[in-house]
């Protein structure tokens, strides 16, 4: 097996930083060595990467992506091939995507369909969550089977999208009770979809059809109400582990913080779009331009304190994880389906390539530390979702490593850094004080010197264990 030595860098973990060298043997980390120790003990690696002046961090783990996801009469524009290659460009070495079961479909069949989409296509390692859109006896039994046999230990449910993926409170409770028995995690899209549909219909009837009304008809109160309801149902179901996805609103974060204070097993993530983008600056751009930023939960107003509260939540561990909810659609022929009707715009923003970059800018701005950057983007997502060999640089762990250059700059944009399969960038013109230098996936270099040198099919399916937070 080939050996690689990453020398001269500063190794950043969730708990600290230290000068040191990383020795990789085959697909795994073999040793962490003190500076100069490699030469002293006669290490003769096949390849040496000079990381002088750079940070050596665990590869990014994005636990919320949607490659090739059917939505709103179209399909997310990134395939597992293009999406995982873009992820690699952004220092991400593992994704967890979502297999989708709608009402009336067989859960096992739908998981198999997603395996078929991804097999042999991925540049980096991948796992699956299972979306449960139809709760009945068969799907409940399948949930247990997926935990026991398939390495799928988390199930996403929706309080939004009536008639598509929506589950009522009784269905959610039954699924939560099932998860409590198996130790699985319930992930929740927490918005009151029944009330939102009323507001949407009223808005369209008034002729308020522009993209900005997507946010105005999904108010923060309906995110916090659903978050509260999900927490109470999880409590009734035996304090089942509950993970609220793509949190955007201060009021919803307050519900999570209160539940944590009360000793409940409630966790949450946010995404870069909620930390950097706003209703006024992006979604409300003239004409149809705002469609680029239609996603759910929606971008919030900059005139309240949502963004500062979310950054505070990351500092205080009220928010454990940053993921992307990467669900890209092109403007042409996809977002344009909603011209004249914001409710018909496919919901989603592409971001899998830029999460490590954007959250690092939070380090530069003093919002979080280097350690917290690594923790929220790599270590905690791996621990949260049972990726036991991911998210850390430690002997025996998978050699998934990002070498980050803090002295360089990255300009994001369609003619700058942009490798996702979409015809615009949600972060056009953003400048980052730092840069992805080298990316290693299970010991193989996949990005170096501004070139992608990985290969389709290198990425393997990872069977996940139960959440390390609780087991």
What is residue 434's predicted lDDT score, i.e. its pLDDT? 98
pLDDT(352) > 90? yes
Average model confidence (pLDDT) for the chain?
Answer: 97
Could you give phi then psi for residue 327, rounded to 5 degrees? Answer: -145, 80
Judged by DSSP in three states, 137 sits in: helix
Q: At 9, is the pLDDT very low, low, confident or very high (cuts 50, 70, 90)?
A: very high
Distance CA 73, CA 381 (A): 31
What is residue 22's predicted lDDT score, i.e. its pLDDT? 98
pLDDT(73) > 90? no
Q: Which fold has domain 59-384?
A: TIM Barrel (3.20.20)
H/E element, 274: helix 272-276
Distance CA 442, CA 109 (A): 30
Q: At 37, is the pLDDT very low, low, confident or very high (cuts 50, 70, 90)?
A: very high
Contact 87, 95 (CB under 8 A): yes
Average pLDDT of span 285-308: 97
pLDDT(27) > 90? yes
What is residue 119's predicted lDDT score, i.e. its pLDDT? 98
What is residue 310's predicted lDDT score, i.e. its pLDDT? 98
| CA 176 and chain centroid, separation | 22
**How is the chain split among helix, strand and coil, in percent rounded to 5?**
35, 25, 40
Q: pLDDT digit string (tens) for 169-188?
A: 999 999 999 999 999 999 99
Residues 6+ apart with CB under 8 A from 262: none
User: Any idea which residue has 């990789």 for tokens?
Assistant: 24
SS3 annotation, 421-466: CCCCCCCCCCEECCEEEEEEECCEEEEECCEECCCCCCCCECCCCC
User: Any idea which residue has 């049972």 for tokens?
Assistant: 386
What is residue 72's predicted lDDT score, i.e. its pLDDT? 79
Distance CA 336, CA 339 (A): 5
| CA 26 and chain centroid, separation | 28
Average pLDDT of span 183-207: 98
Residue 103 tokens read as: 């009402």
Bridge-based pairing state of the strands 431-432 and 70-71 = unpaired
What is residue 4's predicted lDDT score, i.e. its pLDDT? 98
Residues 6+ apart with CB under 8 A from 193: 158, 159, 160, 161, 162, 166
Q: At 1, is the pLDDT very low, low, confident or very high (cuts 50, 70, 90)?
A: confident
Domain segments of the chain: what residues?
A: 59-384
Residues facing 32 on adjacent strands: 22
Distance CA 360, CA 368 (A): 9
pLDDT(44) > 90? yes
pLDDT(71) > 90? no
Q: pLDDT digit string (tens) for 399-411?
A: 999 999 999 999 9
Burial classification of residue 332, based on how many CB atoms lie within 10 Å of its CB (0-12 exposed, 13-18 middle, 19 or more buried)? exposed
Give the residue from 283, 343, 327 showing the smallest Cα distance to 189.
327
Residues facing 57 on adjacent strands: 402
User: Any idea which residue has 């344009």 for tokens?
Assistant: 336
Q: At 471, is the pLDDT very low, low, confident or very high (cuts 50, 70, 90)?
A: confident
Q: pLDDT digit string (tens) for 431-469?
A: 999 999 999 999 999 999 999 999 999 999 999 999 999
Q: At 69, is the pLDDT very low, low, confident or very high (cuts 50, 70, 90)?
A: very high
Task: Quote the pTM value.
Answer: 0.98
Q: pLDDT digit string (tens) for 302-335?
A: 999 999 999 999 999 999 999 999 999 999 999 9
């Amino acid at each position: 097996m080939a050996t690689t030595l990453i020398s001269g860098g500063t190794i950043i973990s969730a708990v600290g930083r230290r000068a040191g060298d990383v020795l990789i043997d085959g697909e795994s980390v073999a040793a962490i060595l003190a500076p100069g120790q490699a030469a002293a003990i006669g290490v003769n690696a096949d390849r040496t990467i000079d990381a002088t002046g750079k940070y050596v961090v665990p590869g990014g783990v994005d636990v919320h992506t949607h490659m090739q996801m059917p939505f709103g009469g179209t399909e997310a524009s990134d395939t597992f091939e293009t999406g995982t290659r873009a992820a690699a460009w952004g220092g991400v070495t593992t994704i967890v995507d979502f297999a989708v079961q709608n009402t009336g479909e067989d859960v096992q069949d739908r998981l198999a369909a997603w395996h078929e989409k991804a097999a042999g296509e991925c540049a980096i390692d991948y796992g699956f969550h299972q979306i449960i859109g139809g709760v009945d006896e068969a799907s409940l039994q399948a949930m247990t089977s997926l935990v026991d046999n398939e390495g799928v230990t988390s199930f996403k449910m929706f309080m939004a999208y009536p008639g598509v993926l929506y589950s009522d409170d009784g269905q959610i409770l039954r699924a939560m009770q099932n998860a409590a028995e198996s130790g699985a995690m319930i992930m929740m899209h927490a918005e009151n979809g029944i009330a939102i549909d009323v507001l949407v219909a009223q808005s369209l009837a008034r002729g308020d059809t522009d993209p900005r009304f997507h946010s105005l008809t999904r108010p923060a109160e309906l995110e916090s109400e659903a978050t509260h309801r999900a927490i109470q149902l999880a409590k009734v179901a035996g304090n089942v582990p509950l993970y609220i996805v793509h949190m955007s609103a201060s009021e919803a974060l307050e519900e999570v913080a209160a539940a944590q204070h009360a000793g409940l097993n409630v966790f949450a993530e946010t995404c870069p779009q909620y930390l950097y983008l706003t209703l006024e600056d992006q979604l409300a751009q003239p004409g149809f331009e705002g469609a680029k930023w239609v996603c759910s939960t929606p971008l919030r107003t900059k005139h309240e304190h949502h963004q500062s509260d979310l950054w505070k939540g990351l500092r205080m561990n009220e928010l454990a994880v940053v993921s992307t909810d990467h669900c890209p659609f092109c403007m042409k022929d996809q977002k344009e389906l909603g011209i004249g009707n914001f409710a018909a715009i496919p919901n989603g923003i592409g971001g899998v390539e830029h999460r490590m970059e954007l959250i690092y800018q939070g380090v530069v701005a003093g919002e979080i530390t280097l350690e917290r950057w690594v923790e929220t983007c790599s270590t905690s997502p791996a621990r949260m979702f049972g990726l036991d060999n991911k998210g850390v640089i430690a002997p025996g762990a998978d050699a998934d490593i990002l070498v980050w250059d803090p002295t360089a700059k990255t300009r994001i944009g369609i003619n700058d850094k942009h490798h996702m399969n979409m015809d615009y960038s949600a972060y056009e013109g953003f400048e980052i004080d730092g840069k992805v230098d080298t990316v290693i996936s299970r010991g193989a270099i996949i990005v170096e010197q501004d070139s992608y040198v990985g290969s389709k099919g290198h990425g393997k399916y990872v069977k996940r264990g139960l959440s390390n937070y609780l087991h």
